[in-house]
Amino acid sequence: MQAIVGMLPPFYTARYVEVHNPLLSLVWFLMGLGIVVYTLVHSLLGQHNYVHREQPNIDVTFWQDRATDGNWWPQSDGQKPEYCGIAFKAASKTDNTSWGSDAIGCQRPGDRPGTYFYPSSNEIQIAFSVAFGTDPQFNTSDIYVYERIEDSTVGLQLSYITSRQHVAHVPNCRVIGDEEHPDGNSITSRYGTLFPSKDYGDGYLILSVHDVLKAAGRNLSGTGSEGPLILTGLEIVAKFDVRNYHTAFRWPFETWNPFGFVPASDLECTVRFEVLRDQFTPLQWFYHGVEPMALQHGLRLVAVGTGSIGYFSFVELIEKLLLGVAAFSLAQAVSSGSVLLPPSRPPLPRSPLP
């Protein structure tokens, strides 16, 4: 016990008076040790500062897939959607044009050949309606909406590349909502229902057009800024986020995990849908020679992505450990006061006056 007491640094009061009290010295020592250990644990396990982080370049691939009933095109259940036969007219007196009709009919996409989905890099366009005529954008009454187009599905596949690796498919992306549109939290991928044998692989994200609109707080029975959404269309942005080593106190080692804890290196992919604009959104023009003959309006879905990918780094780990050791040594030096805070000496006595 005497040996341990001798190793403890002396305790100093606010006036730098040295007090050799083993209990106070022990408390002072444990407080410094606790602060350093807490800071080190929080830095390493809470914030995962032992990893090297990179910002990935993200790419999203879209494609059309089966409808929610398992067929390629949605089949009729005998009941017409409420938007079949709607009345809508937008007239302009200045140039004497009118767009719309008192009863806009429906066409089923599977009844006639045509193109309704237009995927490209980080974007897909889905036609909701078609207008025929020599001026299909501003002056026509020959308009149709595509019946049950909202029951068609869209596949979304996220890939990324960093300086260390290229991942062609990030599995198990999930839809999330926010305070304005919390319905996004209830939307799940339809991949397991439509493909129970996992034809593509594991963890693909397949959503119906209705799911995308619901996650953004809209539906095809609603109205946008310029008219019914089934006629005007809209633009929606899909905000993807992929990251790892972001959840505090997950298991830090990827190769050694005897207890089966969730590794901090597991990727988490989320997507949130937001409306950019809900005005008339022209998608595809059709021409006879050079003369326009038809125009499709619909949904333009654009993907953007952010993320943070971490890689376990011994260099980062050793750096943080050395910083912790240095902080502990500094705390001990300050607590001992032998160098930085020497005890004050009593004033020198004055010589008597003659």
Q: Which residue has the tokens 């079949």?
A: 84
**With 90 as the cut, is the pLDDT of residue 285 above it?**
yes
Residues 65-84, mean pLDDT to the nearest whole number: 90
Evaluate whether 139 touches 295 at the Cβ level (below 8 Å).
Answer: no
Residue 281 has pLDDT above 90, yes or no: yes
Measured CA to CA, the distance from residue 146 to residue 127 in angstroms comes to 8
CB atoms within 10 A of CB 15: 7
* DSSP secondary structure letters along 213-240: HHHTT--TTSB-SSSBHHHH-EEEEEEE
**Cα(221)–Cα(233) distance, integer angstroms:** 12
| Alpha-carbon span 48 to 244, nearest angstrom | 10
What number is the average pLDDT over the span 278-304? 96
pLDDT at 21: 64
Cβ atoms within 10 Å of 278's Cβ, excluding its own: 20
| Stretch 172-189: mean pLDDT | 93
pLDDT at 15: 47
The larger pLDDT score, comparing residue 322 to residue 24, is at 322
Tokens for 258, please give them.
Answer: 């005897």
Instruction: Give residue 1's pLDDT.
Output: 52
Model pLDDT for residues 97-118, shown as the tens digit of each residue: 999 999 999 999 988 888 999 9
What pLDDT sits at residue 344? 54
What is the residue type of 179? E
> CA of 353: how far to CAs of 195, 235, 350, in Å?
107, 97, 9
Q: pLDDT tens digits, residue range 254-263?
A: 888 888 889 9
Residue 345 pLDDT exceeds 90: no
Give me Rg for the CA atoms of the chain: 34
Determine which of 29-33, 149-153, 218-222, 259-263 has the lowest per-residue pLDDT on average.
29-33
Percent of the chain with pLDDT over 90: 61
Lowest mean per-residue pLDDT among 127-131, 263-267, 282-286, 347-351: 347-351
- Indicate if the pLDDT at residue 18 is higher than 70: no
Helix (H) or strand (E) holding 206: strand 205-208
Joined together, the tokens standing for residue 267 give 């990727």
Averaged pLDDT, 308-322? 86
Query: What per-residue confidence (pLDDT) applies to 6?
Result: 57
Q: Which residue is listed with tokens 């030096």?
A: 333
Which of 317 and 73 is assigned the larger pLDDT?
73
- For residues 346 and 147, the model is more confident at 147
Which of 317, 311, 321 lies closest to 263 in space, CA to CA? 311
Cα separation of 27 and 65, whole Å? 67
What's the confidence (pLDDT) of residue 341? 46
8 sits in the region (left: phi over 0; alpha: psi -120 to 50; else beta) called beta
Bigger pLDDT: 252 vs 301: 301
Rounded Cα distance between 29 and 332, Å, is 7
Quick one: which of 55, 99, 96, 30 has its CA closest to 243? 55
Which carries the bigger pLDDT value, residue 66 or residue 42?
A: 66
Secondary structure (3-state) at 92: strand
Mean predicted lDDT score pLDDT of the chain: 86
Among 271, 349, 311, CA closest to 58: 271
Flag whether pLDDT at 243 surpasses 50.
yes
Which pLDDT score, from 0 to 100, does residue 29 have?
A: 72
For the segment 21-50, the average pLDDT, to the nearest whole number, is 76
Beta-carbon-side half-sphere exposure of residue 193 (alpha carbons within 13 Å): 15
Distances (CA, A) of 63 to 114, 117, 206, 236, 333: 16, 8, 9, 16, 64
Quickly state the pLDDT bin for 350 (edges 50, 70, 90).
Answer: low
High-pLDDT (> 70) share of the chain, %: 85
pLDDT tier for residue 338 given thresholds of 50, 70 and 90 = very low
Region 120-130: mean pLDDT is: 95
Mean pLDDT on 214-230: 94
Cβ(283)–Cβ(235) below 8 Å: no
Q: Is the overall model pTM greater than 0.85, yes or no?
A: no
> Averaged over 229-252, what is the pLDDT?
94
